[in-house]
Structure 1
Amino acid sequence: MIVTEIENCGSGKRKVYLDGQPAFVLYRGELSGCHIEKDQELPEAVYREIMDEILWKRIRMRCLYLLKSMDRTEYQLRTKLKQNFYPEELIDRVILWLENLHYLDDVRYAESYIRTHGESLSTLQLKQKLTQRGVPRDVIQEALENQEGPDEEELIRKWVKKKKTDPSDCTPAEKQKLYAFLMRKGFSSSGVRKVLQSGSEMQNEYS
């Protein structure tokens, strides 16, 4: 392995390129301590020391810090570590380490998100939000089944009440507008029609 480039990353950090590819980031003092110089060969023993001791300790501490303030999905954590220029090898390794310690659990994350937001978001919206956070579809489905998901009709009634529109006492145009609004919220057409057609039940909400 040849050190082909050493790039200044700021804050005393240097990105090291091996054989033309970005390999890892070290502090300037660590760079000197490992005797890393441009256009020089990096011995395998030194490379392993950097990966298995210096960076392995650092990436674990970084993950514990990131997870201390808030729960994260595997995707979110991987993205953050890549932004910090950690090698893919160590990212895979630390993800497995965290999962074995139950510090990282996408099912738990999804279930917690559903519990927190299930009273204000439709099932479709929950799926979309969790997908954006990198939670796999099968994990989302499992979490929805474990949490039973939101009561769609009850959520629709809450949104109708927020809009301060009585479906039993509005024009066809107003009802169509309300229908379109609820569909954009991710509710099923059958659920929306059922609630909007139950005029007497909705009237009780306004009495």
Structure 2
Amino acid sequence: MGKITKLEEGKRNKNRVNVYIDNNFSFAMDLELIYKMGLKVNSEINEDEIREIAEKEGFSKCKESAIRAIERSYKTEKELRNKLHEKEFSDEQIDYAIDFLIKYNFLDDVKYARMYVKDKLFNQGKNKIRFSLERKGISRDIIEDIFQEFDNGEELERGLYLCEKKYNLLKKRETDKYKLKDKLFRYLVGRGYDFSTSKEIINKILNDNEY
């Protein structure tokens, strides 16, 4: 059993408090936890209470680390979990932080997917967008639901714009029609457009329905 003899505000972070037991520095913790646990000068504290404090401090640190991570750039749940695992937080601590962020709408995979699709449809086809989102941990069902919110004509329109720009560059040095078509097709597929959409785009560009 020991006695808290001093609570000192952190020099770099005023939300951190240095706790001294029997006149010796013992540990630092968040100010919020100080209040929640009712710690104050002259309070008696034992080893079990110190272990409890250390455990709660770990959960608090994980939550704060998660908040800082999404403040820098919006992330999917999978991306955030990976980031927190890299910092060696436990699964239990990570689950706690993730649940907190979801509860208060700081983390939302559907919202992320919607923003991502809206941004990437400007210069990518659905296949490439789908692949990228799946790697980020977004389920196929969510992705397909989001695609339904967007007019398929938008993808076609952007594909026509991109393909026409590519066509204008290629036709200056490629005179063989079939080689030109092949290069345009590979370009569109590389951008994530599927076979049928690529075919439709190229046909419109070349006014040729025999592709």
Q: Tell me the SS of whatever aligns to 2:65.
A: helix
Q: Tell me the SS of whatever aligns to 1:151.
A: helix
Deviation sequence 1:13-61 (CA, Å, 0-9, x none): xxxxxxxxxxxxxxxx9xx837xxxxxxxx776544322x211221121
Which residue of the other structure, out of 76, 80, 84, is the alignment partner of 1:81? Answer: 84
Q: CA deviation at 1:138?
A: 1.8
Q: CA deviation at 1:154?
A: 1.4
Match of 2:184 in 1: 178
Deviation sequence 1:79-137 (CA, Å, 0-9, x none): 11111111110101111111010000000011111111211110111111112222222
Q: Who wins on radius of gyration, i.e. which is larger? A: 2
Match of 2:130 in 1: 127
Q: Give the distance between the partners of 2:92 and 2:177, measured in 1 at CA.
A: 62
Q: CA deviation at 1:146?
A: 3.0
Q: Which amino acid aligns with 2:26?
A: G
Q: CA deviation at 1:158?
A: 1.7
Query: Number of aligned pairs?
Result: 161
Identity score, percent: 20
Match of 2:199 in 1: 193
Q: Which amino acid aligns with 1:49?
A: I
Match of 1:137 in 2: 140
Is the contact between residue 123 and residue 159 of structure 2 (CA under 8 Å) also seen in structure 1? no
Q: Which amino acid aligns with 1:122?
A: G
Is the contact between residue 114 and residue 126 of structure 1 (CA under 8 Å) also seen in structure 2? yes
Q: CA deviation at 1:199?
A: 5.0
Q: CA deviation at 1:148?
A: 4.3
Is the contact between residue 121 and residue 155 of structure 2 (CA under 8 Å) also seen in structure 1? no
Q: Tell me the SS of whatever aligns to 2:124.
A: coil
Match of 1:107 in 2: 110
Task: Report the RMSD for the aligned CA atoms in angstroms.
Answer: 2.6
Instruction: Rate the CA distance shift 1:200–1:187 in 2: closer, same or farther, 3 A.
Output: closer
TM-score normalised by length of structure 2: 0.66
Q: Give the distance between the partners of 1:81 and 1:58, measured in 2 at CA.
A: 10
Q: Give the distance between the partners of 2:182 and 2:99, measured in 1 at CA.
A: 50
TM-score normalised by length of structure 1: 0.67
Is the contact between residue 130 and residue 140 of structure 1 (CA under 8 Å) also seen in structure 2? yes
Q: CA deviation at 1:179?
A: 1.7
Matched, 1:49 2:53: yes
Q: Tell me the SS of whatever aligns to 1:198.
A: helix
Match of 2:44 in 1: none
Is the contact between residue 128 and residue 191 of structure 2 (CA under 8 Å) also seen in structure 1? yes
